[in-house]
């Protein structure tokens, strides 16, 4: 009985991750390309799609090369391409972006975090000792996100039906979500999106609820129910994009 259960569990994981579809070349795959600077949580996001109960990725783990994962979402097979976010690998993101547009993608998702970037090199000056994150640190990293977006504009301009901005780490900024959504929707960041795609979608998200660098406070206004709702709304958006693509085709 134990062997049967283990086999059933393995097959369930294989189905969710699309491993079984590797031997089925006729099944339609919908590609999603992830962009974003280092520390915003791209890999955590991918892990949370594959397994909603996944824990945080260690800060030392960094994506060096594009990595492809498959996930079954609402009976559709998605191929999620995670790209490296470090500055020294920015050229790899641009190359992968060129290739993805050539191949055709359901969506390009730019992962951001309202300045809550986390690095493996330590955290001097990130918090003020009371658990509050330095506003200077957050503003600087929101600027880093703008610079990264600018570097992609020449490739993207007018070549996508939808550009998705995924604002991760909602558990940290949920209490200020009106300001956050304004910034990415119609503020400094949102203004830079004009002309890049036919439409721009901004979605809040939380891959895993945890303190910033293990010590900075969470907002206290975001719980597991909010996390589930954010995930549900994003998956609904992705499946709607498939339907829109079929209509356009």
Per-residue confidence (pLDDT) for residue 215, from 0 to 100: 76
Positive/negative CA dihedral, 49, 53, 59, 63 = negative
Q: For the full predicted model, state whether its pTM sits above 0.85.
A: no
Instruction: For residue 24, name the pLDDT band (cuts at 50, 70, 90).
Output: very low
Instruction: For residue 176, name the pLDDT band (cuts at 50, 70, 90).
Output: very high
Per-residue confidence (pLDDT) for residue 27, from 0 to 100: 55
Task: Classify residue 205 as left (phi > 0), alpha (psi -120 to 50) or beta.
Answer: beta
128 in Cβ contact with 134 (< 8 Å): yes
Q: Give pLDDT tens digits for 140-160.
A: 999 999 998 988 887 776 667
Sheet with strand 197-204: strands edge to edge = 67-73, 76-82, 29-35, 107-112, 160-167, 197-204
Residue 219 has pLDDT above 90, yes or no: no
Q: Give pLDDT tens digits for 126-143.
A: 877 677 888 989 999 999
User: CB-based contacts of 80: which residues, under 8 Å, 6+ apart?
Assistant: 32, 34, 46, 49, 68, 69, 70, 71
Residue 57 has pLDDT above 80, yes or no: no
């Amino acid at each position: 009985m134990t062997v049967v259960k283990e086999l059933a569990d393995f097959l369930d994981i294989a189905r969710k991750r699309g491993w079984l579809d590797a031997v089925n070349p006729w099944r339609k795959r919908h590609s999603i390309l992830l962009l974003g600077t280092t520390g915003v949580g791209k890999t955590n996001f991918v892990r949370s799609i594959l397994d909603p109960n996944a824990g945080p990725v260690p800060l030392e783990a960094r994506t060096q090369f594009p990595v492809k994962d498959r996930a079954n979402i609402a009976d559709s097979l998605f191929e999620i391409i995670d790209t490296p976010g470090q500055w020294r690998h920015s050229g790899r993101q641009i190359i992968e972006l060129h290739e993805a547009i050539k191949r055709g993608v359901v969506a390009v998702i730019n992962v951001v975090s309202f300045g809550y970037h986390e690095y493996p090199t330590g955290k001097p000056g990130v918090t003020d000792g009371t658990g509050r994150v330095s506003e200077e640190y957050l503003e600087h990293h929101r600027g880093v996100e703008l610079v990264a977006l600018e570097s992609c504009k020449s490739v993207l301009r007018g070549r996508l039906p939808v550009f998705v901005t995924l604002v991760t780490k909602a558990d940290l900024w949920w209490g200020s979500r009106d300001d956050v959504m304004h910034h990415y929707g119609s503020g400094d960041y949102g203004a830079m999106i004009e002309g890049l795609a036919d439409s721009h979608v901004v979605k809040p998200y939380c891959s895993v609820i945890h303190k910033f660098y293990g010590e900075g406070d969470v907002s206290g206004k975001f719980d597991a129910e909010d996390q589930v709702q954010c995930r549900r709304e994003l998956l609904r958006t992705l499946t709607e994009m498939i339907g829109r693509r079929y209509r356009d085709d």
